[in-house]
Each structure stands twice: as C-alpha cells, then as structure tokens.
Amino acid sequence: MPTDAPFTIRRLAAADANAYREIRLEGLQRHPEGFGASYDDETLQPLAWFEARITEHAVFGGWLAGRMLAGVAGLLVPEGAKLRHKGVLWGMYVRPAARGTGLGAALVERVLAHARGVVEEVQLVVAPENEAAIRLYRSAGFEEYAREPRSLKIDGRYYDSVLMTPPFRRG
C-alpha cells in the first residue's frame, strides 16, 4: 500500500466491535444479495457477538483519514481437520465514500497476505451481478471455478453465486 494512500488498514480488535457492527449491518442492509447472512438476523445480535466475530476470525478494516471505518474483509478458516487447509475471504464491504480509492484492493491483498501463512488456498463467493467486485477479485488473481444457481433466496427471489479462487500453485 502506498504511503500516500487516503486510508490505513489494520486487523480489527475487540475495541472495534461497535464500528464493525455498524459497517457490517450497513453492508447487509444495502446489498442483501451480496451476503449469505441477513440484516434481520444480525441486527438482533448483541455487541458481544460482533466482538467474537472479529476476535475469532482475522477481520481487517480500512479507515479513511484515520476517522471512519470505511471497509472490511475477513478470512474464515474452518475448524475441521479436513477443511482447514482452505480459507474463505468473507464479509467484504467498502462504503460508497471509499470506493475508487484503492481500499477494496488493499483489503483483499491484506487478507491474502495473512492467508499465505495460515492456509493453502482461499475461496470466495460473489454475486454475478456485482461486476465491480468480480473485477477487483480477478485483479487480485482470483478465477471463477463454479457457479451455484439459486444460492440465496431473498423475499421470494433467487440469486446465483460465483465461486472464485486463485489458481492452485504447487510448491
């Protein structure tokens, strides 16, 4: 990340739970088709639930001018022995005020940098209509490997999902 970037990125801590809750609920409310979770479910959760999410998973945040949490992305690593070799980039959301600043790309790169020491592969799920996100993920090296029809059902309407991962690299 360039030193003249209009944002800073760091891993979220328990003290960031309120800011994380706020941005997470905003993303779920504005873009319900972009998340497997729902606003209605998560708005009922206490602050301690959000604190647990950011302390149990590697969740990174980007702040504009050090003031506003403007973007988040996380790495979830399954607990099961047969699955913990692959992580999931999840919960990616950048507020409209920070779009076009490079924050999204920096968050993805930060999650991938963290993942390199933790898992062998990273996967993600994105809505096929979210062309900006797909471009962002492709620029970070992700490729589509599958599509899941009717992945989500929101208010009686079905939404497909695109599954992506960077190409497998043998070491």
* In the chain, where the domains are located: 7-165
Give CA–CA dist 126/162, Å, rounded: 5
CA dist 58 and 53 (Å) reads 9
pLDDT of residue 146: 97
Q: Given a cut of 60, is residue 104 above it in pLDDT?
A: yes
pLDDT, position 50: 98
**C-alpha 98, offset from chain centre:** 15
d(CA 31, CA 66): 25
What digits encode the pLDDT tens for the residues 115-136? 998 999 999 999 999 999 999 9
Which CATH number, 1.10.10.10, 3.40.50.300, 2.120.10.30, 3.40.630.30, labels domain 7-165? Answer: 3.40.630.30
Mean pLDDT rounded to a whole number for the chain: 93
The pLDDT of residue 167 is above 80: no
pLDDT by residue (tens digit) across 44-61?
Answer: 999 999 999 999 999 999
* 155, two tokens: 């208010």
**What's the pLDDT tens digit per position in 6-47?**
899 999 999 999 999 999 999 999 999 999 999 999 999 999
What is the model's pLDDT at position 45? 98
pTM as predicted: 0.92
User: Which pLDDT does position 170 carry in this prediction?
Assistant: 47
